[in-house]
A and B are shown apart, each in its own frame.
Chain A
Amino acid sequence: MEQQQQQQQGMSEDVNLLVKFTTKQEQYAVPGTSVSVRASTNPSGLDKVIGAFIKHDSDYQKSLPNFHFIVKGQLLHGTLQERLEECGESFESVVEIEYLEKQPPPTPKDSLHHDDWVAALQCSDKWLLTGCYDNTLHLWDVAGLAAGKGDRAHTLTIPAHRAPVKAVTWVHTDTPTKTFISTSIDQTAVIWVWQSETNTVECVSECRGHTQSVECVAVDHSKQFFATGSWDNMLKIWSTVNKGVEEEEEEEDEERDLKKRRAAKKPQKKIPILTLGGHTESVGGVVWTGDREVATASWDHSLRVWDTDIGGIKSQINGNNAFFAVAWSPLNRLLLTGCADRFIRMYDPRVTEGAVVQQKFSSHTKWVPSVKWSTTKEHQFVSGGYDSIVKHWDSRSPKIPLYDLTGHEDKVLSVDWSHPRFIVSGSSDCTVKVFTDGQP
């Protein structure tokens, strides 16, 4: 057989390969026999093969979906031959192909209009929180978005800050009393409590300590702490819990009216639990990678993992470019970073030496200021770039994203996939686009 294959290889380019199909989706399982397939087969060709296989072996009566095929750890886009040549694999051994059902593409659901650039957003299970460059926060009803209500889903506008909002995050979303945090160029992070039933919002505490714009915020899994990164190169850890009323400082005149607007109750002033200095340039992204572990991405070309117990650096990964954003998934424990050179890089925080870049995703044509892992799918993530495209990626397909989500007319500043069903993106064209992820 091998000789025959070699002869065929010599004679023509089209070689027959022995492949073996495996899957993790049981409803599409096929017996593990190896099949001979032409090397020039592309995914659609394999689709037919596997379709025939499934129909032959099982009593699967429904119409079959299309499949993705994973060859040697990466999604197959071209032909089998190209993929194998890329890996430097021989054509003689049995090639194992994993297949999984192809998702339908995300569908654009809604476009939410804002008055200014949307710098930050996060979706909880029922509410979408957006932060704007006009110093306001907005709350949107997710159910309304799903129904396609558009701007009617808008629930609340909060004139939150004295300068553009840079980052927002939900803290507690379970009870009717919900908590979220917003940070801004005005050098503060503010904890808000929102009564969803009465639709009233209250500024619980104002976190002061940063001397420059607070660029990013992240809440830990226990919802007790949150970390903020700022342009002043500092990482600060704060508590979400209020511990009694502190002494009030004298307020300046200009802040007074804002306070009045915010709430009758004066917000508590908070000081950080911990200040971690070490970055030489501003911190662009922060993410909790464990109970007591924070990872930061900085403009000084480094990724650092901090231990909040000790209050020091745990490990450091050096890159070649300024990092703008970082994302971490508990499913695969990998870091994704958006860089100043249009590539998305995947790092394993445990690997700090040698080839630290696990994967480089190249499809964006400009800077990528935000990336987010899917909360439910191990291999999928979204990214938004200054090329005004949101891209839906599979981490096993480094060159070609699964889907390009277009619609924005200007730079995409932030994306979010916290709600498993919704991919939301905020842009400098003053809109938030909502896409429903294809899987029902």
Chain B
Amino acid sequence: MSGKRKRQDTSELQNNVFNGGREINCMVNINTEDNEDTSDSESSDIDEEDIEDVSDDEYEEEDDSNEADSLDEDDTDEENEQHQEDNEENCDTKAKNKQHTRSDRDSGIDDSPNDKEETTEDKYKLFKSKATRRQISKTKSTSDKDTQECSQDPEIPDEYEEDSSDEEDLRNTIGNVPLKWYDEYPHLGYNLDGKHIIKPKRGDTLDNFLNRIENPDFDRTVFDKQTGQDVRLSDADLDIVKRVMSQKVPDASYDYYAPWIDHFTYEVMEMPLSGRTDSKKSFVPSKDEAAYVAKRAEQIRRGLIQYTHKREKKYHFYDLWSDKKRLRRIHDPMPAPKVKLPGHWFSYNPPREYLPHFNKPFGSLREVPGYKHFIHECWERCIDLYIAPRKRVLRVNASSKDLIPVLPKAQDLQPFPTMEGLVFKGHRSIIRSISIHPLGKFLASGSDDQTVKIWEISTGRCLRSFDIEAAVKWVAWNPSSKLFLLGIVIEKKVIFLNPETYLTDKVVVKQTNAVFKEEPDQGDYIQPERVRTAVTWRKPTADEWAKGYRIVIDHFRSVKQIVWHKQGDYFATVIPQGDHRSVLMHQLSRWRSQVPFNKCKGLVQAVQFHPKLPFLYVATQSHIRVYNLQKQRILKKVQANCRWISSIAIHPGGEHFLISGYDCRLNWFEMEYTKRPRILRYHKAAVRCAAYHRKYPLFASASDEGRVIVSHGMVYNDWLKDPFIVPVKELKGHKMFEGLCVLDVTWHPYEPFLFTSGADATIRLWH
């Protein structure tokens, strides 16, 4: 035992010495009375007594047990004195062992062996009284204890109070040895005085039986091996047993529903409960912060920082009811009548506003008629389930990224133009149109500076320049290899020019000249009135011939475009303001013209020949009409999905065509399925023109924003396979001029070179 405990013991001892006598007397009284009176009187007796000290209380309790012990040896008459003596004598030891008595007191030792003659009833009475008294005293003592503790020193709890570290039954001092060692002896151990504890005489089976019948406490009596005695369990014991059995907290006073104090709460506490001492560092002021504060202070002092506190905007809501005065106007306001709560009746009589056609209220549920379609609907549903059973559809778990097709790398799609190769400089104004000679050596360009220039592609050298009397709107080389002829459009005229010398085979040049020297014999052919008023073919004058002109065709209104048929004999001209004579077909070899269409709906923007078949594509503002020229009938009318078409380009395969529009979009059509074109929204400004490469799967489109976009457009022979379109390169280089930038794009006939003509009077080659 620790020293502290010893000290406490001595103090208890002193207490005992001072108060013991009176208490013992009282106890004796109680004991004596116990046999005769009811426990009530006894308890009242005890109530009168004020037990002042905890130790006293315990001491008193201990007395009980000692008393029981003493009963073993002495008669009840002598009990008092005996007890007193014992008390005095064993003062020390008892005080020492006060902790252990607690267990004794609970177990409650049954009557002494000498009392075996006593009736069980007496025993029971005695026991009961003892038990009750003990209980009461215990409660008393605890309450006292509390008060005392509070008064004396509430903060320091007695940590040894509840100590049960070495609880032993000290009435039998044999220690923790097997009891069977004493089986052969009449005693079963030794008491504190070293005397034998004689085994109590156990009754035989008959006694046992009688005991069972007669003893009402039989079911609460247990055999204590240590002392060899039957122990009757008190109510408190039973209660504890019951609690343990039903898996409750053994302590009856435990409050299940006490307010919970969450010591380790998730809430951030202002002063967290942490036993940790603050680090040394936390006491050292931060230099960084000091420097920052100093800097800021300096800045504020200098006026570099001005704090303008933003005032939080407070929304003021007008509280109607806060104004008591206002309410005061109504004197003695009467509350609105309370609406009756909806009851059962409402279940079949909904409020009127919900059922406007329902006019008859039902008196009771009984009167509500059945739903007349009920059976029918049930039947329908059954049929539905039977005929069309539900199928579990697996939802496709695809993210939006998976749906985007995988684009190939641009390197895999080479060759395509990527950079500027050459700049053709020489024009002085906007270059409206460019055309490349089919052999791929020369480039012709027509400009607003009233010249047509012919360039050498490999070096960018202007080889020839022709002065034309007006701004050139369109140039187009004759695709035939037998003629060396450039078609030029100026205002109302179409001029055919032979650039002549040395640019191509002399034989071809000569042949071209020879062809146009003589006007062909028209024979019986009489030009219709409608054509004659529109077109006049004429031979150039001598001056014009010297300039290179070979034929001049005058139109009735200004011409926009000239398009060659692939064989180079036929060509078409477009006159946008020509009303019903917007498109004219001409035959070069016979100097003949014709108006193929009786009517032209809308303004014709562009025409184009099919590269293989005798088809003509005519693009008006928002429609494309495809005509079969041989059969002389319309083949297809396509809604262009475009507000204003700027140009049309036809794929060399002939199955696809490209429409560029002034509404910034590019539409890729398939001839077989024109309903839904592929819309390419690459551009942010009006798309001027688009062009397909003749050999490579490439196409380019130019827009007014100054960008030329080169795309890879692969077309497959398999009709079911969609064309594969990937934009591959954006080419920028031309400068803006008067809101115009790139005006024409053309591909080289066999190399992946792109030519663009711009408003900045340059032509650029991209390779």
Contact = CB atoms under 8 A, between A and B. Distances in A.
B458 A211 contact: no
Given A186-B502, A213-B502, A340-B751, A386 B461 contact: no
B461 A162 contact: no
A231 interface: yes
Interface string A180-224: 000001110000000000000000000000011100000000000
Nearest to B749: A281
Given A281-B440, A340-B751, A367-B421, A428 B461 contact: yes
Contacts of B422: 366-367, 386, 411
A282 B441 contact: yes
A340 B415 CA distance: 12
A369 B502 contact: no
B41 interface: no
Nearest to B462: A133
A328 interface: no
A401 B751 CA distance: 29
B767 interface: yes
Nearest to A161: B502
Interface string B748-767: 00110100000000000001
Majority secondary structure of chain A interface residues (helix, strand, loop or mixed): loop
Contacts of A232: 505
Given A163-B501, A164-B461, A411-B459, A386 B506 contact: no
B504 interface: yes
B501 A187 contact: no
B20 interface: no
Contacts of B456: 185
Nearest to A133: B461
A20 to B, nearest CB: 40
Given A231-B441, A386-B421, A386-B422, A117 B461 contact: yes
B599 to A, nearest CB: 46
A185 B415 contact: no
Given A187-B506, A320-B415, A212 B441 contact: yes
Given A320-B415, A324-B458, A341-B767, A366 B421 contact: yes
A386 B457 CA distance: 13
B629 interface: no
Nearest to A188: B502
A411 B424 CA distance: 12
Interface in B518-556: none
B460 interface: yes
A231 B422 CA distance: 20
Contact of B502 (A185, A386, A411): A185
Interface string B105-129: 0000000000000000000000000
B463 interface: yes
Interface string B76-113: 00000000000000000000000000000000000000
Contacts of A163: 501-502
B210 interface: no
A231 B459 CA distance: 14
Contacts of B751: 299, 322, 340
B507 interface: yes
Contacts of B504: 211-212
B487 to A, nearest CB: 22
Nearest to A321: B415
A68 to B, nearest CB: 32
Contacts of A185: 456, 463, 502-503
Nearest to A185: B502
B507 A211 contact: yes
Given A320-B415, A324-B458, A212 B505 contact: yes
A164 B501 CA distance: 12
Contacts of A119: 459
Contacts of B503: 185
A133 B462 CA distance: 10
A413 interface: yes
A162 B501 contact: yes
B750 A281 contact: yes
Interface string A319-330: 011101000000
Nearest to B422: A386
A341 B422 CA distance: 12
Contacts of B767: 340-341, 367
Nearest to A254: B501
B506 A211 contact: yes
Contacts of B506: 187, 211
A340 B457 CA distance: 12
Interface in A95-112: none
B502 A162 contact: yes
Interface in B713-767: 750-751, 753, 767
A413 B422 CA distance: 13
Contacts of B460: 411, 428
A413 B456 CA distance: 13
Interface string B445-463: 0000000000010111101
A112 B439 CA distance: 35
A361 to B, nearest CB: 17
A212 to B, nearest CB: 7
Contacts of A231: 439, 441
A162 B456 CA distance: 16
Nearest to A340: B767
Nearest to A208: B506
A165 to B, nearest CB: 12
A256 to B, nearest CB: 15
B502 A428 contact: no
Contacts of A117: 459, 461
Contacts of A386: 421-422
Contact of A428 (B459, B463, B505): B459
A164 B461 CA distance: 10
Interface in A277-328: 281-282, 284, 299, 320-322, 324
A346 to B, nearest CB: 21
Interface string B413-425: 0010001011000
A119 B461 CA distance: 11
A136 to B, nearest CB: 15
Q: Of residues B421, B440, B461, which shows the largest number of chain A Cβ atoms within 10 Å of its Cβ?
A: B461
Contacts of A164: 461, 463
Nearest to A232: B505
B505 to A, nearest CB: 4
A362 to B, nearest CB: 13
A282 B421 CA distance: 19
A366 B523 CA distance: 57
A23 to B, nearest CB: 41
Contact of B505 (A211, A324, A413): A211
Nearest to B508: A211
Contacts of A213: 441, 502
Interface string A128-166: 000001000000000000000000000000000011100
Contacts of A366: 421-422
Interface string B557-596: 0000000000000000000000000000000000000000
A369 B458 contact: yes
A107 B507 CA distance: 49
B122 to A, nearest CB: 100
Given A117-B461, A428-B461, 17 more contacts: A117-B459, A119-B459, A164-B463, A211-B505, A211-B506, A212-B504, A231-B441, A281-B440, A321-B415, A340-B767, A341-B767, A366-B421, A367-B421, A367-B422, A367-B767, A386-B422, A428-B459
25 contacts: A117-B459, A117-B461, A119-B459, A162-B501, A163-B501, A163-B502, A164-B461, A185-B463, A187-B502, A212-B439, A212-B441, A212-B504, A212-B505, A231-B439, A231-B441, A321-B415, A340-B751, A340-B753, A341-B767, A342-B419, A366-B422, A369-B459, A411-B422, A411-B460, A428-B459
Interface of B: 415, 419, 421-422, 439-441, 456, 458-461, 463, 501-507, 750-751, 753, 767
Closest 6 CB pairs of A and B: A211-B505, A163-B502, A186-B502, A185-B502, A231-B441, A340-B767
